[in-house]
Amino acid sequence: MKLPRLAEQELIAAIRADFSGKKQGGLALGIGDDAAVIKPGGENLVLTTDLLVEGSHFLRSLYPPYLLGRKSLNVNISDVAAMGGRPLYALLGLGLPPSLPRSWVERFFAGMRSAAEAGRVRLIGGDLALAEKILISVTLVGQAKTFVRRSGGKPGHLLFVSGYPGRANAGRELLQSGVRSGRDRAADRLIKTFLDPVPQVELGLRLSKLGAASAMLDTSDGLSVDIDNLCRESRVGAEILADYIPISPELKRLRKSPLQDALYGGEDYGLLFSVPPSKLSAVAKLEKEFCLSRIGRLVPGGKVYLLDPSGRKTLFVPRGFRHFK
């Protein structure tokens, strides 16, 4: 989420309408999900692209190039994970200021290589350009025997999230407020979640293999927006139980409003997914391994509500998450 939210959604809707005219052979899923899916031969290929812009998505002064290299690849791997796919190949478009030290570029590539090795991704092509600000454009190709859309959620399905939402954004705020690594372990953990997110490939694959997720996306825009996206694509509403939202111990210790962090912070790169009741027992077996929390359920209609412990029900308005601006 980078443009003013409404403008971005409007633009995507226009593009989607504009380019959705004729069905083309081999396209299984087009604009609007975490990734597109094509079926050139027998197999589904998952395709996704992400643009990272210095000043909009990261500040050079706060971001070690090694970790930026890792994150550039990992945010795309996360999109493939959200489809239940396995990442395979990457293409890299890189815009670099002429003044950038050589060591920066070397560290960036070392980081990207480490993420590529961890994710078993191979860099197969790219383009280099001069630019005033650092620009990183990664396109990732993955495979998925079966894939999970955003749009398969039905009323009655339960909503789960992996990990502790809000940690990454809290880490970002700590970093921006001048907190540096190495002084407080809890702060370090939050900052690491922000700087070096871990895509949930294994969880996505397991859910997809089990046929357990009816809709899925990765939590990148903040929980309120992510839930809204899943509901809009699935044409359902949701009831979210505020006291079921998992709050990490670090947020409790260091932050004033940990629940607000969890509801509105972005860039966690966990998975948010809905589960039909028939698959609950299968998902229960993954709960501990992948730190899953059941946070609510899908309901008819398009509205999302937040229920507090007293049972009070309020509209859960998606609040745009912004990167650095």
Please report, as ranges, the residues that interact with a second copy according to CB under 8 A. 2-4, 8, 11-12, 14-15, 18-19, 24, 26-27, 30-31, 33, 35-36, 38, 40-43, 45, 47-53, 55-57, 88-89, 91-96, 98, 105, 109, 113, 116, 120, 122-133, 135, 137, 139, 141, 143, 325
Bridge partners (DSSP) of residue 307 are: 241, 313
- Cβ closer to a second copy: 83 or 295? 83
DSSP 12-28: HHHHHHHT-SS--TTEE
Directed axis angle between helix 65-81 and helix 201-210, to 10°?
0
Q: How far is Cα 168 from Cα 82, in angstroms, rounded to an integer? A: 18
- Cβ closer to a second copy: 127 or 289? 127
Q: How far is Cα 201 from Cα 203, in angstroms, rounded to an integer? A: 6
Dihedral sign (CA 98, 102, 106, 108): negative
- Cβ closer to a second copy: 137 or 274? 137
* Residue entry with tokens 């070392």: 110
- Cβ closer to a second copy: 132 or 243? 132
Query: Measured from the CB of residue 99, what is the shortest distance to a second copy in angstroms?
Result: 12
What one-letter code names the amino acid at 203? Answer: L
Q: How far is Cα 239 from Cα 300, in angstroms, rounded to an integer? A: 10
Query: Measured from the CB of residue 43, what is the shortest distance to a second copy in angstroms?
Result: 5
Region of 30 on the Ramachandran plot (φ > 0 left; ψ -120 to 50 alpha; else beta): beta
- Cβ closer to a second copy: 4 or 249? 4
Query: Measured from the CB of residue 30, what is the shortest distance to a second copy in angstroms?
Result: 5
Query: Measured from the CB of residue 31, what is the shortest distance to a second copy in angstroms?
Result: 6
